[in-house]
Structure 1
Amino acid sequence: MNHSSILSVQKVTKTFVSGDHKLTVLDTISFNVEKGTTCAIVGPSGSGKTTLLGLCAGLDRPTSGRVVLNGQPISNMKEDELNSVRNEQIGFVFQSFQLISTLTALENVMVPVELRGVPYREVEQKAKELLAQVGLKERLHHYPNQLSGGEQQRVGLARAFIHKPDILFADEPTGNLDSETGEQIEDLLFDLNRESGTTLIIVTHDRELAEKCDRIIELKSGEIFRDTQPGESEPEFASEETVNAEIKPAG
């Protein structure tokens, strides 16, 4: 693994067994991501984007190959070690927000750091600062069902950055939002990312969002179809219609 790489995906394959059939969702994927960069993973539905993100974030394990984060092979770790890595080094932003319905906006943002035993007042102050930064200073004590989708995702962004993760994974972060709200969330995501120096990996269907990243990795049928930096050459995203079989049988 290159010394400036934070993430190294090494010949990763992911296969699911369904009855007598084996489905290979990812087939021998390899790439490195440099520290402090932004990378979009794109491709048609079923191309393996979200599966790949889950493997990179240690939410799932590859069938073969390995994932190395900050020099640690997370795909081989025991669950308690993995939990520790996720709590300390990784942040998440989800399409469906994933807020805890019984907690206020402020309490939702505090959760990741409270788990690490940081003093309550310190966590509370940082959470208030982040919520103010994302435009929710007046909504600290509102519950998720009292917030709009855009406001919930703002809470999600504040929560993702509160523990200063080394790497942040965002799965369709604007997928459930209208275009104007989505653009606001994108701007906030990149602003927070620049300030924190976090490495950012985004799964998205949104071409404009992808092109804001330093690099675009395009998947097709579980393999890397194209790996470019915007400006090198204009990436042509494979359309839903042009890809017949996104999940192919294992050989």
Structure 2
Amino acid sequence: MLNSSILSVNNLSKTFKSGNKELTVLKDINFSIEKGISCAIVGPSGSGKTTLLGLCAGLDKPTSGDVILNDQKISALKESDLSAIRNEQIGFVFQSFQLIPTLTALENVMVPIELRGVSYREVEKKAIDLLDKVGLRDRVTHYPTQLSGGEQQRVGLARAFIHKPEVLFADEPTGNLDGDTGSQIEDLLFELNKDEGTTLIIVTHDRELASKCNRIIELKSGSIISDTTSPVEQTETIQADLAQ
């Protein structure tokens, strides 16, 4: 595990207006996440998890505070600059898959990088290799409606990794899947996290999934109430110490 931080959140707050009232969803959030680790953000509904994820990914602007990704203060950037960072450095996996229905599995995976000037053949090869890695080599020409929920999420994973993002944000990635299929997707997430060295940040209600991450940040009512090393990380640390 590397020691340098890839994501830092400093005094982050987010307030929404509701009529004449203001609703504070996040208040004075502070943390840093090291490169290459997996981190779960947990908490009850309404605790601010998804809002925090959106701010960290540059999908929304904070009311106050800073989000620093790869030493760049993304909370201060214009949308055009943010779009470039999201396209080059960030990957997303959504609970609802968010595949383009008129494109095949292969075409959906190719979308993030086919406008970069990379040759079609090169992009196609990368996409096929990733689909093969997630077990969908024989589904490349299938459309989303021809795929099961688990298969659609695998396409979403391949698409998220096509440009080798620095950070992968996953919002309830197994929320719409049955237990067995969800477990397969979890295994793929952590496998790709390790193989590609991508920092993995997951928002989840699933405590079992969270326990598989190196670190767990828990929110309640818009504030961090705990920030702990998970049992998995503790075990890996002990094993590393014993090996020395």
- Common fold: TM-score over 0.5: yes
SS of 2:24's equivalent in the other structure is: strand
Deviations 1:59-98 (A, max 9, x none): 0000000100000000000111111100000000000000
Query: 1:115, 1:165 → 2: CA distance?
Result: 16
Query: 1:171, 1:66 → 2: CA distance?
Result: 21
State the shift of 1:204 in Å: 0.3
SS of 2:195's equivalent in the other structure is: helix
What pairs up with 1:92-241 in 2 under 5 angstroms? 92-231=92-231
What pairs up with 1:16-165 in 2 under 5 angstroms? 16-165=16-165
Query: 1:74, 1:116 → 2: CA distance?
Result: 21
What 5-or-longer segments of structure 2 have no aligned partner? 235-244
Paired amino acid for 2:210: A
What is the match of residue 14 of structure 1? 14
Q: Give the share of equivalent positions with the same residue, in percent.
A: 74
Structure with the higher fraction of residues in helix conformation: 2
Query: 1:175, 1:181 → 2: CA distance?
Result: 11
Query: 2:55, 2:115 → 1: CA distance?
Result: 23
Q: How many residues in Structure 1 have an aligned counterpart in Structure 2? A: 233
What pairs up with 1:240-251 in 2 under 5 angstroms? none
Q: State whether residues 211 and 231 of structure 2, in contact with CA within 8 Å, keep that contact through their aligned partners in structure 1.
A: no
What is the match of residue 237 of structure 2? none
Paired amino acid for 1:82: L
RMSD after superposition: 1.6
Query: 1:203, 1:127 → 2: CA distance?
Result: 26
Query: 2:129, 2:28 → 1: CA distance?
Result: 43
SS of 1:112's equivalent in the other structure is: coil
Paired amino acid for 1:185: I
Query: 2:34, 2:118 → 1: CA distance?
Result: 29
SS of 1:186's equivalent in the other structure is: helix
Deviations 1:179-217 (A, max 9, x none): 100000000111011000000000001111100100000
Query: 1:64, 1:119 → 2: CA distance?
Result: 42
Query: 2:21, 2:179 → 1: CA distance?
Result: 40
What 5-or-longer segments of structure 1 have no aligned partner? 235-251
Question: Where in structure 1 do 4 or more consecutive aligned residues deviate above 4 Å?
Answer: none
State the shift of 1:115 in Å: 2.6
State the shift of 1:15 in Å: 0.1
